[in-house]
Amino acid sequence: MPASHDALFRSLADPTRRAIFERLCREGEQTVGTLTAQSGVSQPAVSKHLGVLKQAGLVRDRHEGRQTHYSAQLGALAPLIDWTSQMTRFWQSRFDDLEDLLKRMDQ
Amino acid sequence: MSRPADETLSLVVEREMPFPPEKLWRALTQPHLIEEWLMKNDFRPVVGHRFNLERTPRPDVNIVIDCEVRIVEPNKTLSYTWAAYGLESVVTWTLSPTGAGTRLRMEQSGFKPDQKQAYQGARHGWQQFFANLERILARSD
């Protein structure tokens, strides 16, 4: 698994960070202030989480006056989705081979 | 929030097999049978036993997975660690008898060895995340 996958997994491993990311996916672009109001953690903490998400390519920021708006970048999730679907396909084909073997085995 | 700070990934594949658990158990634990459906191996059904799964899909590609047996409950549960490509995970097989055979469940969960407790609480978080994500992606098409 390439290093970029590690960063992606790590950035989404934290539940608070994941909740922030989920909200951006669900509700579209948000300011740090709006995100803080509903996250239950301090504004510096939210900003720090957003920084990690940004580094992983999961969010993009846009400055407008004194406000910074953040939006989710769903495309950045592709490697993660690929990995789980690849692993799932791997196991499904192992299950197929296992079932074939069971048919051939003696009781 | 009291959820653990370090959560991990998990995936589940389940299938109903028209065979008794004892027969599935043999296929899951006898090296020559494991080789037929999974990979070459030096598995032994002994907790703490370290083994490798190995496959050479092409002459220039050799896949080696490092494993260690964690749980052996004959005809019920088999679990081993599965480390490859920087991902450390645990593979757990659960066999449940049904009227017509056995329900076989395989769960693979990513985890960090020093954070087993976090791993215990991890599955729900990830499943929720993927469920949410699927809904979001379905809407954005």
* C-alpha closest to that of A10 among B2, B5, B132, B91: B5
Q: What is the ipTM of this complex?
A: 0.71
Residue with the larger pLDDT of the pair B14 and A10: B14
Q: How far is A33 from chain B (nearest CA, A)?
A: 20
Residue B131 contacts residue B14 (beta carbons within 8 Å): no
What is the spatial order of strands in the sheet that A30-31 belongs to?
A30-31, A67-72, A59-64
> Per residue in B79-94, pLDDT tens?
999 887 556 789 999 9
Q: Supply the pLDDT for residue B89.
A: 84
**Which residue carries 């989705």 as its tokens?**
A81
Phi, psi of A24 (to 5 degrees): -65, -35
* C-alpha closest to that of B72 among B89, B53, B93, B54: B93
> Per residue in B78-137, pLDDT tens?
999 988 755 678 999 999 999 889 999 999 887 443 344 333 334 444 455 555 555 554
Residue B48 contacts residue B72 (beta carbons within 8 Å): no
Tell me how far the alpha carbon of residue B107 is from its chain's centroid. 4
Q: Supply the pLDDT for residue A44.
A: 94
Using a CB-CB cut-off of 8 Å, the residues of chain B touching A15 are: 1, 3-5, 7, 125
Q: How many CB pairs under 8 A join A and B?
A: 80
A-proximal residues of B, 53-92, CB under 8 Å: 85-87
> Per residue in A36-79, pLDDT tens?
988 888 999 999 999 999 998 899 999 998 889 999 987 777 76
